[in-house]
Amino acid sequence: MKRHSVLTLILCTMASVAVAQSFTVYENGKSHGYNDEDVDSIVFSAAKAPASTAEPRKINARWCSLGTSISWLNDNTANYISKGLTKGYQSRVLEKLAFTNFNNAAVNGGMIASAVSAVVYADYYTIEHGINDWGHSTPVGTIQDYINNTKNGTFAANYRQVIDRIFQRNAKARVILCTPRKAYGFNGYLPDHWYDAKNGIYLQEYADMVRAIAAYESFPVADFFAEAGGQRQLANLSYDTALHPNDEGMQIMANILIQAFEKILPE
């Protein structure tokens, strides 16, 4: 007598050619083999797979996020939901890495110099800066400006002020440096392409300086510049053209930052 089988999960492999007389169904992690001659009909259910119940990893530490409006948006998404932004990259990180305390110290429109006074006590710091320094044509400077603490107003020298303030707050702090996300446009604030120069300065110069500082200090890097979208994708990853990330853009940034955190979090 033939069997009538109702399959509520995915039919992963089914051989239907004439020479094949069997197929396999995977259900709840187990496989079940069937012969064609024993099955009269197959019914697929529209039932959804159960949602993941994985709990976030609890991190008994404080995280301070320093950055630009891209980071500031995390606590100010209410006015941007209709544009495709419901939560920032930091909230997405916290869904996976549940820090005991999170402080968003980002400054809307801020440059790296604005982060000096924004530093609060924490165990972990992330720094997302460079895009507004490019927009305002802050001189990039050299790694020697950073190393020698020249205080000459360059991006590199101002970055040194931020790092010094962090270690004044907490000598045992762990720090992740974030390269600036590629961007362009925004009503003429930036050039038409991320790879164009503004007043003779390229965005990549800021990204390269962040990497150089990270290498000097042995800090991990969340490389938004390299991994969070290029000229072809930026418009679709932003809720404007093309500076501030939408939900998809924020999720990409979160994934990159989580990978950087995992390099320095305790086992």
Q: Do residues 172 and 216 make contact, with C-beta atoms less than 8 angstroms apart?
A: no
Structural domain includes residue 267: no
For the range 203-208, what are the long-range contacts, defined as Cβ-Cβ under 8 Å and sequence gap of 24 or more?
203/130, 203/131, 203/134, 205/140, 206/130, 206/131, 206/133, 206/134, 206/140, 206/155, 206/179, 206/180, 207/130, 207/179, 207/180
Residue 151 falls inside a structural domain: yes
Do residues 212 and 98 share a domain? yes
39 and 98, same domain (yes or no): no
Is 40 found in the same domain as 71?
A: no
**Helical packing angle, 155-169 and 203-217, nearest 10°:** 40
pLDDT of residue 253: 98
39/61 same-domain check: no
Residues 24 and 114 in one domain: no
**Residues 22 and 99 grouped into a single domain:** no
Q: Check residue 37 and give its pLDDT.
A: 63
Q: Tell me whether residue 235 is in a domain.
A: yes
Residue 49 lies in a domain: no
* Residue range(s) defining the domain that contains residue 221: 57-262
- Give the per-residue pLDDT at 267: 82
According to the model, what pLDDT value does residue 74 have? 98
Q: Which residues of the chain fall below pLDDT 70?
A: 1-53
Q: Are residues 200 and 175 in the same domain?
A: yes
Domain match, 33 and 90 both: no
Q: Do residues 64 and 22 both lie within one domain?
A: no
Residue 35's pLDDT is 61
Q: Which two tokens stand for residue 156?
A: 């590199």
Tokens in use for 56?
């976030």
Q: Give the per-residue pLDDT at 17.
A: 38
31 in the same domain as 133: no
**Could you tell me the CATH number of the domain that includes residue 240?**
3.40.50.1110
Both 181 and 250 in one domain: the answer is yes
